[in-house]
Chain A
Amino acid sequence: MIEAKNISKSFGKKLVFDNADISVADGSICGLVGINGAGKSTLLRIIAGVLTADGGTVTVDGEPIYENKRVKRGLMFISDDPYFDFDINGEKLGKFFSVMYDMDGKVFGHYVEKFSLDLKKPLRNLSKGLKRQIFIAVALACRPKILLLDEAFDGLDPLARLEFKRGIIELQESGSTVVISSHSLRELEDICDSFILIDRNTVKVCGKIEDALDNIFKLQLVFKDGMTKDAFVAAMTAGGEGVPSGADGADAVPFECLRFDTLGRVVTAVLRGDKNTVMTKIDGLQPIVADEIPMDFEDYFIEEVRRADGEGR
């Protein structure tokens, strides 16, 4: 299990993390998400033992990572722009990593074939996507206990993404833990079972994607006379006009209105709370139309970050 407790990190005067806590369960695929500059790469570099946290602890199975050879033998980090020597090609890269890790040559060969890679060509002459494919092939062949990938889907074509996702799932099935940072949230949603959302110098949410999506939903509502946000919130929380409610808001529904956009009589609302209870309450408002619009991880991310920004973004 990867655990970080109360980690803080600054680069000069710039605070990146302040008392952030994370935990990634063994055998999970965890998506690391956040806006640009949120600190995703920094967090991965701390977990990889490249950087030290200014405060707090980062451990794998209870052992600190920094300068810990034993732990790092089972940990592999592929950065967003992985380094390679000027004259290195895929074959030499494979050899280098086989010196460092217990690399499975057959698995490497399998992915080289899947990605149709030319191992003789110098990496410097390859496109960004092909370079990444070679690093992915190496990473999957090394079968690390913990694989940390920064901007993992960057530059990959749809077919390569598919193979890559399959590879990650296979790795997970063999017991490995994978932490992937990416802005391709739909790709992450496909393979991740948990996520860490970093925002405003801290870990804002850390949990299962399923749970997060269960509690948040988007509705399209049409009211006969239109509806303002204040009126809607008042009706839902303390009993509004025409809404069956107790005098002291006894029927109030515990919910959070994350977004409330109106266009004429049409309302698009993103709400968080128990869906059934909220829907029953909304029915009491007698909307002409009340449709649920499917919400994915990207919508969830946008709503969370927007909420934090106070609609400023």
Chain B
Amino acid sequence: MKKYFLYELKKNAFAIGVIAFVVTAIYMAFVLTTFQSSYDINANVDVIAFIGGALAVCIPVWAFAYKMKKRSVDMYYALPLKRVEILAVKYLIGLLAIVLPFTVAYWLGALATFVKVSEANPDGMGAVYYIPYYFAALGAMLCIYSVSAFAYTRANRIIDGILFIVFWMIALALVVLFINRIVGAALGYDGFFGFVYSENPDGYYIFPTCFSPIAPLDYATRFFRAQLESNALISSDWFVFRNQRINMGVGFALTALCAVGANVWLFLGEKRQRAENVGQVSESAFGYKVMIPLFTVCLIGIADLIPLIALVIVGAFALTAVYRHSVKIGVKQAVVYAASVFVGITVDLIIRSCV
């Protein structure tokens, strides 16, 4: 396994180098063009957080692509390696493809930002916070990577895997919004889960970030941005508010739980993954099977406007067609689709009658 890991590392070193170059170039372009003044300081952590998050979401698609083609599965699974060993090596290479480019971009960007800010305002930044933020961001990215890797490998085709990652990034938040709307309507006021809506000091936050795997990265970025910038939009004081502490607690706990569960399931379940399913319809319960009805019901329930509801209905059909690899979705799937739309519309009508 060690030999195989070293082989993969050597093989992918160039690709990782290219990723590092591209990511650093993008980040440096932002850093070098950001206006800094004595009263307007920007630590540029939002951009690197976005880049880090994007890497954590996208890299699994590349790292685990070998599981999506019959030809590659035939080759890899016939090798004198256990499947879990191949998975572990690919997982580690994926992780390196996130950590190394992020590290290079992060520290070069931090250095450039610090130099630029120092020229404008020597005491304007708490630059030391770049160190804890680096580790916090890496931890948060690891969580996103774990969930993405798990979601992606539930699929049997690349396109399904990408959609599963998207589902997993927003599914729980969507359910919370849906329940929130029902309960709010039933009790006669909006926002039963008050803390969900109080994330943004400028007003209501439409997406309950704390119920998504991106929560820790989001919170860490906001928190350390407040420490790094003396003029940050959200001050350090904001984080002592009870609601924010609850939000952060929920976000960190849920994501950590999801990440641990995802990793355990990913590795323990590897032996049971069937090679013949590659390229076939993705029937995992962690994918379309549950997600399409769930998204259909929730999105119809949440969408206020008729055109949006129509869009959800059309979108659900399109997803079902992608799921079944055909617009002829079959009787069973048609029933599931119709039932989901029916339940969604019924709930929406009930909510409308209550409000």
Contact = CB atoms under 8 A, between A and B. Distances in A.
B226 to A, nearest CB: 45
A51 B275 contact: yes
Contacts of B71: 79, 81-83
A275 interface: no
A148 B80 CA distance: 14
Interface in B62-104: 69, 71-83
B204 interface: no
Interface stretch (A93-101, A118-126, A201-209, A230-238): A93-101
B276 A67 contact: no
B82 A69 contact: yes
Nearest to A41: B74
B276 A11 contact: yes
Given A79-B71, A83-B71, A99-B4, A50 B80 contact: no
Nearest to B6: A99
Nearest to A69: B80
A50 B82 contact: no
A69 B71 CA distance: 20
A111 interface: no
Given A51-B275, A67-B271, A100 B75 contact: no
Interface string A18-61: 00000000000000000000000000010011111000000000
Contacts of B4: 99-100
Nearest to A77: B78
A139 to B, nearest CB: 11
A226 to B, nearest CB: 53
A126 to B, nearest CB: 16
Contacts of A79: 71, 74-75, 78
Interface string A82-93: 110100000010
B7 interface: yes
Given A51-B275, A82-B71, A73 B80 contact: yes
B82 A99 contact: no
B65 to A, nearest CB: 10
A9 to B, nearest CB: 9
A50 B274 contact: no
Interface in B33-85: 69, 71-83
A256 B126 CA distance: 94
B242 interface: no
B332 interface: no
Contact of A69 (B72, B74, B81): B81
Contacts of B73: 50
A69 B11 CA distance: 23
Interface residues of B, number: 22
Contact of A50 (B3, B7, B11, B78): B78
Contact of B78 (A72, A92, A96, A99): A72
A77 B74 contact: yes
Interface in A204-219: none
Nearest to B77: A50
Given A67-B83, A69-B82, A100-B79, A51 B276 contact: yes
Contacts of A73: 80
B74 A50 contact: yes
A76 interface: yes
A91 B206 CA distance: 55
Contacts of B79: 72, 100
Given A67-B83, A83-B69, A99-B4, A49 B274 contact: no
Contacts of B83: 67
B80 A99 contact: no
Lowest 3 A-B CB distances belong to which pairs?
Answer: A83-B71, A77-B78, A72-B80
Given A79-B74, A83-B76, A100-B79, 9 more contacts: A45-B74, A49-B77, A50-B77, A51-B276, A75-B80, A77-B74, A77-B78, A82-B75, A85-B11
28 contacts: A11-B276, A45-B74, A45-B78, A48-B78, A49-B77, A49-B78, A50-B77, A50-B78, A51-B274, A51-B275, A67-B82, A67-B271, A69-B80, A72-B78, A72-B81, A77-B74, A79-B74, A79-B78, A81-B71, A82-B71, A82-B75, A83-B74, A83-B75, A96-B7, A99-B3, A99-B7, A100-B79, A100-B81
Interface of A: 11, 45, 48-52, 67, 69, 72-73, 75-77, 79, 81-83, 85, 92, 95-96, 99-101, 148
